[in-house]
Amino acid sequence: MAKATFEVPELSEYTEVPAVKPGAMAHSSTFRAKEEFQQDLGFPGELVEDWQTKAIDKMGELLGKYRSLRVYMDACVKCGSCTDKCHYFLGTQDPKNMPVGRQDLMRKVYRRYFTLAGRLFPKLVGAEDFTKEVLDDWYCYYHQCSQCRRCSVFCPYGIDTAEISMAAREIMDSIGVGQKYCNEIIGKVYKIGNNLGLPGPALIDTIEGLEEDVYDETGVKVRYPIDEEGAEILLVTPSADFFAEPHVDGLIGYGKVFHEAGISWTISTYASEAANFGMFIGSYENMRRLAQRIREAAIKLKVKRIVFGECGHAWRVAYSFLNTLAGPWDFLDPKYPVPQHICEFTHGLIQEGKLKFDKSENDDKVLTYHDSCNVARASRMGDTPGGQFEIPRAIIKATCNHFYDMDEDTIRDRTFCCGGGGGLLTDDLMEVRVKGAKPRIDALNNVMQEKGVTHMAAICAICKTQFSKVLPYYGMEMDQVLSLHQLVSNAIVLTPGEDDDEPDGDEDLDNDNETDEAA
C-alpha cells in the first residue's frame, strides 16, 4: 500500500453520491510554470500588470471565437443534472468540483462583465468581480478537471465543462499564470520531439533494444523501424510506449500486428509524440503547432497512411481535430481514413482473418476493459457511432478467453475518467488523482470480487500511468493495468521469416519492471 499524506477514500460497492463539503480541495493547487517554460509557448512569464483587464479582454476574445463558450456561459439553468457526475466531486466532495460549480467560477465573472443582469444586479444573479481570490480559485479548480466530458453527457444542453476549463487555462496563460506540468511538456516537444524529452539517438537506441528483446523472446525478427523513408504507415504513439511498463508491451504488440499484416511502417523521431497537450491548455495555436509536426513527418517520410497508437486525448486530437489543424491530407492514400487508430487497424485484420491467436496465452488473466474518457466521448473508431466501444472489446474477445465488463453505469459513454487526464498526471496533484480515481476503482473492485477479474486493459498512456500509480493506494497491484495490445502481443501467432528460428511459444511477456511517471 502506497503511503499517502491524505485520507484515501474507502471503496464501496457502488459509488455513492457524497454530501457537499465546501473547500475540501481548496488546498490543492498544481505547481506554476516558471518564466522560461511560459515563454517557450509565447505566454508572459509571470502575472502581468493590469492582469484583470487583460484577462477580461481575453475572455471577450474567446467568447467571440468559440461558440461553445458563448452558449455555455448563457445556457445553464442550474438543473443539477451534472452535479453528481464528476469523479472529482464524487471523490473529494468539494462542490467546486461539481461540473456546474466549476463552470460557475467563470460564469460569475462572465455575468459581471458581459451581461446586463450581472452589471446591474450582481448579487441577484451571482455575478462577481474578477478578484485575486477568484483567480486563485480558477487556478485551483480548473486544474482539478480532467476534461473528460462526462458532465456533457448528462447536461440537457450538452454543456461541456472541458470547454470551459480549456478557456480558463488559456485566459490564465495569457496573463502569465500557467501550469508547470503541461507547459513544460509542450516545450519539450518543441525542443526535442516528445513529452518525455527523449532525443532522437536515445530513441533509436531504445527501439533497437526492443527489437532484440522481441527476437530473443519469440525467435521471430519482428521489425521496429524508425525514421524509414518510404514506409507505408507512419505510427504516431505516446512516448511512454517507448519504454515504460505497461506501455511498451503495447508497442511490442503493434509491431507484431504490422509484422503479420506484412505492411511496412515507421516511427518518426521528429513526431515521436502522439499526445497533444496543446488541447489541455485550450491553446489552438499550440495545439496546431504540435499537430503540424505530424504533417511534416508524414511528408518527409513519404508515408501513405497514419496510424495512432494507444492514447486517449491524443486520439481525440487525432480523430476530431487533426484534419482541422494539419489537414488536408490529400497526399495520403485516400482508401484509408486519416488518421486510423491502431485498434481499427488490428480489428480490420482480425475481420479479414489475417491474424491468428492462441487465446490460451492469456488464460492466466481475467480481463475487464476501461473505456478511456476521450476515446469514449470525444471520438469514434470504425464506421458506426459507438465503434470506439465495440472495436477494443472485440479485440479483447479475440485474444482472451475470460472477459467481463464493469458496471453498465461506469462504461462506454458513461465511463469514469481514470483521474489523471487533462494535464493532471503530475505528482503535485496526487491527492486529486487518487480521490478522483475512486469511482473507476469502485467499479473495478466490484468485478474483481464478483467475477474474479485480475487485470484491466486500457488504451491510453495517461490511464495506464495513472492506474499504475494509484491502484496501490487502494491496496491493488500496479501491474493490474495492461495495454490492450499487450493482450494481442501475448496471443498472436507469429509467422517466422526465412532466417528465423522456430519460436519457443510458451514464453510470456511478464511485466515486472518498475513503472514510472510517463506520458
Note whether 115 binds another protein by CB under 8 A: yes
- Give the closest residue to 424 by CA, choosing from 180, 193, 105: 180
Judged on CB neighbours under 10 Å (0-12, 13-18, 19+), 439 is buried
Note whether 17 binds ligand HEM by CB under 6 A: no
- Please, which of residues 351-410 interact with another protein by CB under 8 A? 376-380, 383-386, 388-389
Single residue of 37, 72, 110, 141 touching another protein by CB under 8 A:
72
The partner in contact with residue 174, picked from ligand HEM, ligand SF4, another protein, none with C-beta cut-offs of 5 to 8 angstroms by kind, is: none
Single residue of 11, 63, 220, 349 touching another protein by CB under 8 A:
63
CB 50 within 8 A of CB 477: no
Q: What separation in angstroms does the CA of 227 have from each of 199, 264, 505?
A: 13, 12, 31
Closest residue to ligand HEM, Cβ-based? 156
CB 286 within 8 A of CB 219: no
Distance in Å, CB of 396 to ligand SF4, minimum: 25
The partner in contact with residue 148, picked from another protein, ligand SF4, ligand HEM, none with C-beta cut-offs of 5 to 8 angstroms by kind, is: ligand SF4
Single residue of 55, 76, 252, 311 touching ligand SF4 by CB under 6 A:
76
What residues pair up with 367 in beta bridges, in sequence order? 403, 455
Distance in Å, CB of 72 to ligand SF4, minimum: 8
All three cell numbers of 312, joined, read 486517449
Note whether 156 binds ligand HEM by CB under 6 A: yes
Largest distance between two CA atoms of the chain: 81
Distance in Å, CB of 398 to ligand SF4, minimum: 31
Judged on CB neighbours under 10 Å (0-12, 13-18, 19+), 440 is buried
Nearer to ligand SF4, 159 or 318 (CB): 159
Neighbour tally for 272: CB within 10 Å = 28
Nearer to ligand HEM, 76 or 185 (CB): 76
Nearer to ligand SF4, 105 or 248 (CB): 105
Single residue of 79, 117, 120, 299 touching ligand HEM by CB under 6 A:
79
The owner of cell 495517461 is 462
Taking the C-alpha atoms of residue 408 and residue 243, their distance in angstroms, rounded to an integer, is 34
Note whether 126 binds ligand HEM by CB under 6 A: no
Q: Which residues contact 75 (CB under 8 A, 6 or more apart)?
A: 157, 159
- Please, which of residues 143-182 interact with ligand SF4 by CB under 6 A? 145-151, 155-157, 159, 161-162
Looking only at the bridges linking them, the beta strands covering 455-458 and 367-369 are parallel
- Please, which of residues 183-212 interact with another protein by CB under 8 A? none
Distance in Å, CB of 86 to ligand SF4, minimum: 3
All three cell numbers of 199, joined, read 532525443
Question: Where on the phi/psi map is residue 178: left (φ > 0), alpha (ψ -120 to 50), or beta?
Answer: beta
Note whether 75 binds ligand HEM by CB under 6 A: no
Nearer to ligand SF4, 97 or 399 (CB): 97
The partner in contact with residue 86, picked from another protein, ligand SF4, ligand HEM, none with C-beta cut-offs of 5 to 8 angstroms by kind, is: ligand SF4
Q: Alpha carbon 378 to chain centroid distance?
A: 11
Taking the C-alpha atoms of residue 302 and residue 182, their distance in angstroms, rounded to an integer, is 31
Note whether 494 binds another protein by CB under 8 A: no
Note whether 160 binds another protein by CB under 8 A: yes
Nearer to ligand HEM, 72 or 254 (CB): 72
- Please, which of residues 78-117 interact with ligand SF4 by CB under 6 A? 78-82, 85-86, 88, 99-100, 102
With CB under 8 A as the contact rule, which of the stretches 34-42, 59-67, 202-210, 475-483 interacts with another protein? 59-67
Taking the C-alpha atoms of residue 451 and residue 467, their distance in angstroms, rounded to an integer, is 20
H or E stretch including 62? helix 51-65
Whether cis (ω within 30° of 0) applies to the bond prior to 99 is: no
All three cell numbers of 275, joined, read 499526445
Distance in Å, CB of 94 to another protein, minimum: 11
SS3 72: helix
Judged on CB neighbours under 10 Å (0-12, 13-18, 19+), 11 is middle
Single residue of 26, 77, 120, 493 touching ligand HEM by CB under 6 A:
77
Footprint on this chain of ligand SF4 (rule: CB under 6 A): 76-82, 85-86, 88, 99-100, 102, 145-151, 155-157, 159, 161-162, 417
Q: Which residues bind ligand HEM (CB under 6 A)?
A: 77, 79, 156
